[in-house]
Amino acid sequence: MRIAYLSTAYLAPIQYYSKLLRYDRVYVEQYDHYVKQSYRNRCIIAAPGGELSLTVPIVKPDSGDMLMRDIRISDHGNWRHLHWYALTSAYNHTPFFEYYKDDFAPFYEQKYTFLIDFNEALCRQVCSLIDIQPLVERTASYHIAPLPGADDFRERIHPKKAFRTEDSDFVPRPYYQLFEQRHGFLPNLSIVDLLFNMGPESVLYL
pTM of the model: 0.95
Nearest alpha-carbon partner for 155 in 56, 1, 9: 9
Distance, in Å, from the CA atom of 19 to the CA atom of 25, rounded to the nearest integer, reads 10
pLDDT of residue 91: 98
Strand order, beta sheet including 25-29: 136-138, 25-29, 3-7, 151-152
pLDDT at 48: 93
Q: Which pLDDT does position 144 carry in this prediction?
A: 79
Position 63 scores a pLDDT of 67
Determine contact, residues 87/109, Cβ cutoff 8 Å.
Answer: no
**What parts of the chain have a pLDDT lower than 50?**
none
> In the prediction, which pLDDT does 64 show?
66
